[in-house]
Amino acid sequence: MSARAIRGRAGRPRLVLAALAAAVLVLGAPATAWGFWRATAPDVTAQLSAATVAAPSGISCTTVGGTLSRSAQVTWPAVAGAVAYRVTIANASGTTSAQQTVTSPTITITQGLLSDLLSGLITTLLGGNPLYVSVETVHSSGWISLTHTAGQPVSQTLLPVGVKCDT
C-alpha cells in the first residue's frame, strides 16, 4: 500500500468533519441572528426574616397553702401570640424530667402533680434535692420558643408537707 493511499484514507474522516462543521456554521448563523434579546435588571432585595417566639421574660414563685400542705405556685408574664406554655420540671442535672402543658401562665407544683408526672421527680424531691421549673412558649403558629426561662428551684417542705419555692 502506497503512502499516498494511506494519506487518502486518513484524510477522509477529516473531510467529513470539515463538511459537517461548515454545514453547522451555515445553518447556525441565521439561527443566531434570529435569537431574541434578553435584558436583566440588577437584583432587587428586601429585608425579611423568620419570626422568633419569645420565652416568658421572667418567672416567679410563691409558696401557697395552709397548715396541712404546701405547694409552689409558679407564674410568668403572658407572651403575645401564645396559645400554651410548656413547663419542664427537672432535677439539677436534667437527667430526670417531665413536661406539662398549660394554657394559662401559671402552674401549681404539688407532690401529687410530681407523682403523676414522673415517679423519679417525687423521689428526687423526697430525697431532699431541688427540682427546677422552666417554661417555653407555644405560639399559635405551632412554633415553640427556642429558649426557656431560667429554672425556678422548688424543694420539699416537711412541716407542713409539700413543695415550697426556693429563692
Per CB under 8 A, residues contacting another protein are 26-27, 30, 33-34, 36-53, 81, 139-144, 146
Of 42 and 127, which CB lies nearer to another protein in the complex structure?
Answer: 42
Instruction: Give least dist CB 35 to another protein, A.
Output: 9
Show the CA angle centred on residue 98, arms to residues 96 and 103, nearest 5°: 155
Q: What residues contact 137, with CB distance under 8 A and at least 6 apart?
A: 53, 54, 55, 56, 79, 82, 85, 86, 144, 145
Q: How far apart are CB 28 and another protein at their closest, in Å? A: 11
**Cβ-based nearer residue to another protein, 49 or 103:** 49
Convert 4-24 to b/e letters by CB count within 10 Å (16 or more is b).
eeeeeeeeeeeeeeeeeeeee
Q: How far is the CB of 131 from another protein (least distance, A)?
A: 26
- Looking at beta carbons only, is 124 or 145 nearer to another protein? 145
**Based on CB atoms, which residue is closest to another protein, 92 or 146?**
146
Question: Among 165, 94, 88, which Cα is nearest to 124's?
Answer: 94
- What backbone torsions phi and psi does residue 10 show, to the nearest 5 degrees? -65, -30
The nearest distance, CB 141 to another protein, in angstroms, is 4
